[in-house]
Chains A and B, each alone.
Chain A
Amino acid sequence: MAAVKSSRGALPRFLLPLGILALLTLATLALAITTGSVSISNAELWQVLSGGGEPLHRTLVFELRLPRALSAFGAGGLLAVAGALMQVLLRNPLADPYILGLSGGAAVGALTSMLLGLSAAAVSGSAFIGAMISAVTVFGLAHGTGSWTPTRLLLTGVVIASGWGAAITFMLAVSPSDQLPGMLYWLMGDLAYARSPWPALIVLGLISIIMLPLGRSLNVLARGQMQAAALGVSVRALEWTIYIAASLLTAFAVVTAGSIGFVGLIVPHMLRLVLGNDQRLILPAAALAGGALLTLADTLARTLIAPEQLPAGVITALIGVPTFLYLLHRSR
């Protein structure tokens, strides 16, 4: 109950870690707009930012790098917050935003519209529809007629996810070979699909604001349904809220950048190892840290072996695995 008792004076205590993460975020965004296969000097960049500069440089910064960096930040933040929420909801450290089959549903939607040769906007739209179908199905089945336990929800989600997995494999097997690379990049997660950063950023902001007042209840729920109910938390309503919020967050992330792995699983754990398990701090910290990690990963993905482009999902794991192992080792 430590986290709950120490609630007074918590806000000032949160400011330092959140401030550091905000600076880190700004640093990764700065790196993202200064780095690329065309080198732009600091002086030239300053001209561009103050409204002048070469047209080519303006295009690169405002049309390519900035929207992509903001999309990466939005998608990374969405995934990390969704992961943190799923881990509380399922009380399972292995939970990530995709564990209940949401990315599978989105992938089936996206690949179907790619097979039909539809536009990029239609690919995003059908990914969102697929994600929502999956979320509603899992919710309906797990809810059923009786009670909803985390185990029942988890099992339902995992089975539905396997079903989607089979459907994806089937679609890959029958797709024309010319289309395979595009599909694989989508499945690996890639910011080249990002069109506008605003939906991701707006949803991230809105849901973070909605979830913040629930922080204390989340802390209690993380210790178990019984304790939460005993302490006067309306468990059913809270769990539904978390489920809906996490589903929306994940759906918008997947629509923005395909199914980028790892961020949603590892970022919340990293933050808990360093900052402790207080959801009032973990949720905003996850938004910043997840965003910063994916922004950095995407910058590396498009520059490491330029002009060839890597999918960002590869880099999130390459950066994240050693960092996480170090933190885990240190925490013993």
Chain B
Amino acid sequence: MVALKTTVAVILSALFAAGSALADICVQDDSGANVCLSKPAQRIIALSPGATELVYAAGGGDQLVAAVSYCDYPEAAKALPRVGSYNRFDQEAILAQKPDLLIAWIEGNPREQLAKLKSLGLTIYYTQLNDFDDVSSSLERLGKLAGSETQAKLAADKFRAGIAELEDRYSQSAPVTVFQQIWSNPLMTVNNEHIISEATRICGGVNVFGNLPNLSARIDNEAVLAADPEAIIAGGMGEENRDWLDEWLRFSGLTAVRRNNLFFIPPSTIQRPTPRLLEGTTLLCQHLETARGRR
């Protein structure tokens, strides 16, 4: 009897050991590397405003211990300790938090600082979100690392369903030519590769500068006058500042100005690749529908 009990115990503990080894959590990040944790991350640092939003949306907000400047959404993010700005970290402040997972941003974070942190043994998940699919898959992957898969799955499904609904409803409507202004002085727009243009397509819009070679480009007023878009969409400095749009009023020959199709979208809902893109895209679709009604 005793022997049997011991045997069972040995087998069980062996199974348990095997089970926990298998339970290593691994996901592929946007650099193509495998990021593995032995248990869900307990101390996460997000190194860009977008990464912060994604971690909260994926249900890992409770495990976030620090973020960088301008991490302003959701409200709870404003209270997090800061470890510098997205383009320059305070490496000491990062190490002092003893993080078990860093969420980095390939394009925006300084490579040499990340390389240093990696050499000091920190685990880094690299993000680079280029389209709507990346948003939902990032939510799922981050949820897995943070041990909040259920909530992350819900958020990802909600985002996918919301976008699919907009696409069903608007993508085949009569096309509206759109100028997407992402900056003023210098005047800047984006090409078709950009996530903003994906939102435009879903809403049945056509980016008039979609064929430019670079992802984002500086252009001049004359190019906009020549393209004569039916609608102009802009953000601004701040979440409700229409100054950039008002500058177009002096060009009364523009179709967009004649029909009053100058639309504002809060920049953080359309320029940051996070689940809030659903809000921004919904707003964009409504604006383009308004433009169709003014023909």
A: residues with CB less than 8 A from B are 36-38, 56, 59-60, 63-65, 119-120, 123, 173-174, 176-179, 181-182, 185, 190, 192-193, 195, 302, 306-309
Q: Is the interface of B mostly helix, strand, loop or mixed?
A: mixed
Complex contact B95–A56 (CB within 8 A): yes
Complex contact A64–B91 (CB within 8 A): yes
| 14 chain-A/chain-B pairs, Cβ below 8 angstroms | A60-B92, A60-B95, A120-B112, A120-B115, A176-B107, A177-B216, A181-B108, A185-B88, A193-B112, A195-B116, A307-B82, A307-B83, A308-B85, A309-B89
A307-B84 contact in complex given A59-B120, A192-B110, C-beta closer than 8 Å:
yes
Complex contact B215–A192 (CB within 8 A): no
Q: Does B11 contact A (CB under 8 A)?
A: no
User: Which residues of A sit under 8 angstroms from B88, Cβ to Cβ?
Assistant: 181, 185, 190, 192, 308-309
Complex contact B218–A173 (CB within 8 A): yes
Complex contact B108–A178 (CB within 8 A): yes
User: Which residues of B sit under 8 angstroms from A308, Cβ to Cβ?
Assistant: 69, 82, 84-85, 88, 90
A56-B120 contact in complex given A36-B92, A176-B214, A306-B90, C-beta closer than 8 Å:
no
Complex contact B84–A309 (CB within 8 A): yes
User: Which residues of B sit under 8 angstroms from A37, Cβ to Cβ?
Assistant: 90, 92-93, 96
CA of A307 to CA of B66, assembled, Å: 11
Q: Does B113 contact A (CB under 8 A)?
A: yes
CA of A179 to CA of B110, assembled, Å: 9
User: Which residues of A sit under 8 angstroms from B91, Cβ to Cβ?
Assistant: 64
Minimum CB–CB distance from B270 to chain A (whole Å) comes to 16
Complex contact A192–B108 (CB within 8 A): no
Q: Does B184 contact A (CB under 8 A)?
A: no
Complex contact B120–A63 (CB within 8 A): yes
CB proximity to A under 8 Å, residues B107-130:
107-108, 110-113, 115-116, 120
User: Which residues of B sit under 8 angstroms from A177, Cβ to Cβ?
Assistant: 183, 188, 216
User: Which residues of B sit under 8 angstroms from A195, Cβ to Cβ?
Assistant: 112, 116
Q: State the 9 A-B residue pairs at the shortest beta-carbon distance, nearest first.
A: A307-B90, A181-B87, A120-B112, A178-B107, A309-B88, A307-B84, A38-B96, A307-B93, A37-B92
Q: Does B98 contact A (CB under 8 A)?
A: yes
Minimum CB–CB distance from A303 to chain B (whole Å) comes to 9
Complex contact B111–A119 (CB within 8 A): yes
Complex contact B82–A182 (CB within 8 A): no
In the complex, besides A64-B92, A177-B188, A181-B87, 16 extra interface pairs with C-beta distance below 8 angstroms are: A36-B92, A37-B90, A38-B95, A59-B120, A63-B120, A65-B92, A173-B218, A176-B214, A176-B216, A185-B88, A192-B88, A306-B93, A307-B82, A307-B84, A307-B93, A309-B84
Instruction: Give the residue of B87, B93, B96, B218 whose beta carbon is less than 8 angstroms from that of A182.
Output: B87
Complex contact B95–A192 (CB within 8 A): no
User: Which residues of A sit under 8 angstroms from B215, Cβ to Cβ?
Assistant: 176
Minimum CB–CB distance from B31 to chain A (whole Å) comes to 11
B: residues with CB less than 8 A from A are 69, 82-85, 87-93, 95-96, 98, 107-108, 110-113, 115-116, 120, 183, 188, 214-216, 218
User: Which residues of B sit under 8 angstroms from A307, Cβ to Cβ?
Assistant: 82-84, 89-90, 93
* A118 and chain B: residue at smallest CB distance: B111
CA of A23 to CA of B183, assembled, Å: 52
Minimum CB–CB distance from A127 to chain B (whole Å) comes to 13
Most buried by B among A38, A60, A181, A307: A307
User: Which residues of A sit under 8 angstroms from B120, Cβ to Cβ?
Assistant: 59, 63
User: Which residues of A sit under 8 angstroms from B82, Cβ to Cβ?
Assistant: 307-308
Complex contact A309–B92 (CB within 8 A): no
CA of A174 to CA of B108, assembled, Å: 16
Complex contact B112–A179 (CB within 8 A): no
Complex contact A182–B110 (CB within 8 A): yes
Complex contact A309–B90 (CB within 8 A): yes
Minimum CB–CB distance from A254 to chain B (whole Å) comes to 15
CA of A59 to CA of B92, assembled, Å: 9
CA of A60 to CA of B108, assembled, Å: 25
Complex contact B93–A192 (CB within 8 A): no
User: Which residues of A sit under 8 angstroms from B98, Cβ to Cβ?
Assistant: 56
User: Which residues of B sit under 8 angstroms from A190, Cβ to Cβ?
Assistant: 88
* B98 and chain A: residue at smallest CB distance: A56
CA of A308 to CA of B214, assembled, Å: 31
Minimum CB–CB distance from A115 to chain B (whole Å) comes to 11
CA of A123 to CA of B83, assembled, Å: 25
User: Which residues of A sit under 8 angstroms from B113, Cβ to Cβ?
Assistant: 192
Minimum CB–CB distance from B161 to chain A (whole Å) comes to 30
Complex contact B111–A120 (CB within 8 A): yes
Minimum CB–CB distance from B175 to chain A (whole Å) comes to 28
Minimum CB–CB distance from A56 to chain B (whole Å) comes to 6
User: Which residues of A sit under 8 angstroms from B84, Cβ to Cβ?
Assistant: 306-309
CA of A179 to CA of B111, assembled, Å: 11
Minimum CB–CB distance from A170 to chain B (whole Å) comes to 12
CA of A123 to CA of B92, assembled, Å: 24
Minimum CB–CB distance from B284 to chain A (whole Å) comes to 21
Minimum CB–CB distance from B105 to chain A (whole Å) comes to 8
User: Which residues of B sit under 8 angstroms from A64, Cβ to Cβ?
Assistant: 91-92, 95, 116
User: Which residues of A sit under 8 angstroms from B83, Cβ to Cβ?
Assistant: 307
User: Which residues of B sit under 8 angstroms from A56, Cβ to Cβ?
Assistant: 95-96, 98
Complex contact B92–A192 (CB within 8 A): no
Minimum CB–CB distance from A174 to chain B (whole Å) comes to 8
User: Which residues of A sit under 8 angstroms from B93, Cβ to Cβ?
Assistant: 37-38, 306-307
Minimum CB–CB distance from B272 to chain A (whole Å) comes to 13
* B82 and chain A: residue at smallest CB distance: A307
Most buried by A among B87, B91, B95, B188: B91
CA of A79 to CA of B142, assembled, Å: 46
User: Which residues of A sit under 8 angstroms from B90, Cβ to Cβ?
Assistant: 37, 302, 306-309
